Amino acid sequence: MKQKDFIVSPGKRLRLKDRDPGFTAHFKNEEAARSSTEQSFETLAKHQDMLLAEESHALLIIVQAMDGSAKDGTIKSVMSNVDPQGCEAHNFKEPSDEELGHDYLWRFVKHLPERGHITIFNRSYYEEVLVTRVHPEGLKKQQLPAEAKGKNIWKRRFDEINNFEQYLVNNGTLVLKFFLHISKEGQRKRLLERIELPEKKWKFSVSDIEERGYWDDYMKAYEDALNHTSTKHAPWYIIPAEHRWLASAGVAEVVVSTLKSLKLRYPMMSKEQRGEMMKAKEQLESE
């Protein structure tokens, strides 16, 4: 299983119907994938430690999906072994009145990772070309000036997001974007789980059922966004999410491969630092 299994190639037209949400790569079942996944988790923890020590890069992980696609579970699984001192997650809901008073990227910029850290956005600024496109009444709440509206608004926002992500990459923040791909039938089963299983009832929301009625609209919005914002510097990865274990394995594989590509290492000590360390060692041993 490689990154190429999931990537949305920039410039090549994507059709979501051509991507199988039930894809399992070469794994026959969850048990067969477990050892590979556990190894990826261990490798991720090792490289995250070096990322934190080196402090030259940051990693922004964006997770987008329809309700019921196991966003929370995938994030929890993949990041289960990392050092919490260098990792944080943000779950973005509807914008507050204060946030609506600013440009649409403002509330996300405040939570970007510092160098050496990993930050996960559970939903992100891409909601501004997805939810607000399916529900255009959301744009009215933003009180945009007349020149910021019009039929070109989505194309303009795609360009703004691409430029924003290029800026982040230019300054050392890698951007990994994942769309957890589930079928409408798969979502139906997951939403039923939330109703039937005691440990999942707290996740149920009537709004999930209401949004399900806009399924086709969301698929069109996602397809357009993926095609316009999968770039060489910040490509999208479509992760099959019909099987929770494959979603975790797929995201982990891409994150690990990306961190490996940085060729991270622990900082080298200068001659002066080594001398100070040896003096400290002598002092400690003499006590």
What's the CA angle centered on 226, arms 220 and 227, to 5 degrees?
90
What is the rounded CA–CA span in Å between residue 29 and residue 261? 29
**What is the predicted pLDDT for the residue at 271?**
81
Distance, CA of 235 to CA of 230 (rounded, Å) = 4
Structurally, the chain folds into a number of domains equal to 1
Q: Are strands 236-240 and 173-181 parallel, antiparallel or unpaired?
A: parallel
CA gap 1, 253 in Å, rounded: 8
| Helix axes 215-229 and 153-170, enclosed angle (nearest 10) | 50
pLDDT at 103: 95
Which helix H or strand E contains 1, and what residues bound it? Answer: none
Chunked into runs of 10 residues, the chain (287 residues) has average pLDDT values of 82 92 89 88 95 96 96 94 94 93 96 98 97 92 86 94 98 98 96 92 90 96 97 96 94 95 89 87 88
58-65 and 236-240 strand pairing: unpaired
pLDDT for residue 156: 96
Token pair listed for 151: 């039929």
Query: What's the confidence (pLDDT) of residue 1?
Result: 63
Q: CATH number, domain at 55?
A: 3.40.50.300
**Which residues form the domain of 150?**
3-286
Q: Residue 118 has what pLDDT?
A: 98
Q: Which residues pair with 237 in a beta bridge?
A: 7, 178
Mark out the alpha helices in the chain (DSSP H runs).
Answer: 30-54, 71-78, 97-100, 106-109, 131-134, 137-141, 153-170, 184-196, 206-212, 215-229, 244-261, 271-286
Q: What six digits make up the tokens of 55?
A: 């402090």
Cβ count within 10 A of residue 198 = 6
